[in-house]
Amino acid sequence: MSDERDMTGSDDVTETGDAANAMWGGRFAAGPSAIMREINASIPFDKALWRQDIAASKAHVAMLGAQGIVTPDDAAVISNGLDAVAAEYARDGVPEDWDREDIHMTTEARLAELIGPVAGRLHTARSRNDQVATDFRLWVRDALDQMDAGLAGLQRALVTRAGEHAASIMPGFTHLQTAQPVTLGHHLMAYVEMFRRDRSRLADARARMNESPLGSAALAGTGFPIDRDATAAALGFDRPTANSLDAVSDRDFALDFLYACSATALHLSRLAEELILWASQPFGFIRLPDSLSTGSSIMPQKKNPDAAELVRGHSGRVIGALTSLMITMKGLPLAYSKDMQDDKPPVFEAASLMGLSIAAMTGMIADATFNTGRMRAAAELGYATATDLADWLVRQAGIPFREAHHITGAAVKLAESRGIALDALPLADLQGIDARIDQSVYAALSVDASVAARASYGGTAPGQVRLQVAGARRMLGMEE
Ligand code: ARG
C-alpha cells in the first residue's frame, strides 16, 4: 500500500511533490511544499511592519533616483506606486498570501501589479536582509517612543497621588512586617524613581539603535553607488551602521528594547502586587476603581483586582519574550539566518502587553481610593515607632543604641501583651522598664513625629516628599 511505502521511505517525496507524506504531511493534502510555505511565511505577523516597509522603500527609491541608479521618472513612478499600496493597506489591511512570504515580497508583488515591471527596479542595491533590519528598527523605535510616553503618563498619575498624600501615614514594611511609619506619598514616589530609570533605559536603547542598516544589502554591501547617509537621514537615523555583516545580523536593538520592557514589567508587577495586597480585606488600604475590577460569578461580596493580577501576570510573558529572542540569537553565525524571522513575535507581543499594562496601571493609580484612616491605624498598631523610642533613649538619655534596642523590646512586649499601641503605655509602666524615660518620650512615639523626624535627603518626612514631588513635576512638565 502506498502508505506503507511512504513510511519506509521507499516512495521518495520530492521537494515540490504534492502527495501527502504519511509520516509528517498528514494534515496537508498538498504535501511538503505546503508545509514549507507555511513554516516560511512571516506575513501573518510581519504585516505589522507595513508602514515602516513603505517608508524605507520610499527612502531607498528616492536615493536610487538621486544617485542616477534608476531614472528620476522611474523613481517617481515607484514612489507613487508605493503610496498607492500604502493607501490600500490602510483601507483594506495587508493581504495574507503565504506565497508572498513576508511584508517585503507582498508589497513588491502588489507594486508590480499596480505599476508593472518598473517595480522590479526598487530592489536594486538592497536585499530583504537589510530591508527587514531597517523596517524592524523603525518599528521598535516607534514602540519605544510610545512606551516612553505611556510611562510618563503613569509617572504623572503617581506624582499627582503622591502630592495628595505627602503626609498620609502608612506602615512601611521590611520582610512584609511593619517596620517604620512612612508616608504614602513617599511610597508612591519610589515607583516614580523606578519608572524614571526605566525611561532612561529606553532613552539609552533608542540612542544606540538609531543607526540605519539600509544599504548593507544581503551581507557584504553593494557595488552600486548608493548614498547611505541620505537614506539614514530620510528615515530619522543618526547615521548608517558601520559594518554590513553586523548590520544585517544584529538584533541587539530588539533585545535592548525587550530588556527595557522586562525591567519595566518587573516594576509594574511589584506595584501590582502591592495593589493586590492593599486591596485585600485584611489590609483594606485601598479600593481599586470598579472600572478596573471584576466581580465573582459565585461570591457576590467579591471585587477582584483582575487588572492588577494581569499586570503581574503579563510580566512573565514579557520576560519570556526577552528570553525567547536571546535564545534565538545565541547560536547564529554571521550573517543573516532565517531563525531571525522569529525575532518579531516576541517583540510585538511584549510591546502590546506593555502598552496595556501601563494603561491599566495608570488607571488604577489615578482612580484608586486610599483608605488613609486604615493605613494610619495599621502603622500605629504595628509598633512601627519602636525605633523612635530607641532613638529617643540614645539622644535624650545618652544610652548606647544596643541597650536602647533592648529596653525598647521590653516596652513593645508589654504593649503587645495588652494589645495597645506603644504611646498608649502609661509613663509609670515605661519607667518601670527604664527609669530614665520621662514624659517627653511621648512626643517621639506618635507616627506623625516619627515620619516628621525622617527629614534626611530622600527620607519619608512630608517636607522631603513634597520636594521629591516638586522635582518630579518639573521633570514631567507638570504645572507647578
Ligand atoms: N521575512 C524575513 C525575516 O523577517 C525577511 C528576510 C528574508 N531574507 C532572506 N534571505 N530569506 O527575517
Q: Tens digit of pLDDT for each residue in 375-394?
A: 999 998 888 889 899 999 99
The number of CA neighbours under 13 Å toward the Cβ of 116 is 3
150-159, 232-241, 371-380, 416-425: least confidently modelled range:
416-425
Give the list of residues 6+ apart from residue 209 with CB closer than 8 angstroms, or none.
137, 140, 141, 252, 253, 256, 257
pLDDT at position 480:
66
- Please give the distance, rounded to the nearest whole angstrom, from the Cα atom of residue 338 to the centre of ligand 1: 6
User: d(Cα 243, Cα 199) in Å, to the nearest integer?
Assistant: 29
**Mean pLDDT along residues 32-59:** 94
Decide if pLDDT at 343 tops 60.
yes
Decide if pLDDT at 19 tops 80.
no
Residue type, 368: A
Decide if pLDDT at 326 tops 60.
yes
- Tell me what percent of the residues of the chain surpass a pLDDT of 90: 85
- Across-strand partners of 170? 182
Minimum-distance ligand 1 atom for the alpha carbon of 132: 5
Residue 194 vs residue 290, higher pLDDT:
194
Give per-residue pLDDT as tens, 278-295. 999 999 999 998 888 887
3-class secondary-structure state, position 267: helix
Give the list of residues 6+ apart from residue 39 with CB closer than 8 angstroms, or none.
none
3-class secondary-structure state, position 287: strand
3-class secondary-structure state, position 180: strand
Pick the catalytic residue from 175, 417, 440, 456: 175
Residue 249 in contact with ligand 1 by CB distance below 6 A: no
Decide if pLDDT at 20 tops 80.
no
**Mean pLDDT along residues 37-47:** 95
**Mean pLDDT along residues 338-345:** 98
pLDDT at position 17:
42
**Does 440 qualify as catalytic in the annotation?**
no
Minimum-distance ligand 1 atom for the alpha carbon of 101: 1
User: d(Cα 8, Cα 31) in Å, to the nearest integer?
Assistant: 17
pLDDT at position 28:
56
**How big is the chain, counted in residues?**
480
Per DSSP, helices labelled H in 128-251 are 128-164, 184-209, 228-234, 244-249
pLDDT at position 1:
32
- Please give the distance, rounded to the nearest whole angstrom, from the Cα atom of residue 303 to the centre of ligand 1: 48
pLDDT at position 10:
35
Residue 340 in contact with ligand 1 by CB distance below 6 A: yes
**Mean pLDDT along residues 296-322:** 91
pLDDT at position 380:
87
- Please give the distance, rounded to the nearest whole angstrom, from the Cα atom of residue 56 to the centre of ligand 1: 15
User: d(Cα 455, Cα 462) in Å, to the nearest integer?
Assistant: 8
pLDDT at position 18:
45
Give per-residue pLDDT as tens, 421-455. 888 999 999 999 999 999 999 988 899 999 999 99
Mutate to test the pocket of ligand 1, among 128, 135, 339, 347 (most ligand atoms within 8 A of CB): 128
Please give the torsion angle defined by the CA atoms of residues 441, 182, 399 and 420, in that order, rounded to the nearest 10 degrees: 50
Minimum-distance ligand 1 atom for the alpha carbon of 103: 1
Give per-residue pLDDT as tens, 246-285. 999 999 999 999 999 999 999 999 999 999 999 999 999 9
Contact assessment for residue 215 and residue 125, using Cβ atoms and an 8 Å cutoff: yes
Cβ-based burial of 226 (10 A; exposed 0-12, middle 13-18, buried ≥19)? buried
Band of pLDDT at residue 323, cut at 50, 70 and 90 = very high
Decide if pLDDT at 129 tops 60.
yes
Mean pLDDT value across the chain: 92
Contact assessment for residue 307 and residue 292, using Cβ atoms and an 8 Å cutoff: yes
Rg (CA), the chain: 32
pLDDT at position 382:
80
**Does 175 qualify as catalytic in the annotation?**
yes
pLDDT at position 6:
35
pLDDT at position 9:
34
- What is the reported pTM? 0.90
Phi, psi of 432 (to 5 degrees): -65, -30
Q: Whose CA is nearest to atom 4 of ligand 1?
A: 341
- Please give the distance, rounded to the nearest whole angstrom, from the Cα atom of residue 35 to the centre of ligand 1: 17
Q: How far is CA 69 from the centre of its chain?
A: 42
**Mean pLDDT along residues 128-152:** 98
Residue that is written with C-alpha cell 541608479 in the block: 69
**Mean pLDDT along residues 294-299:** 76
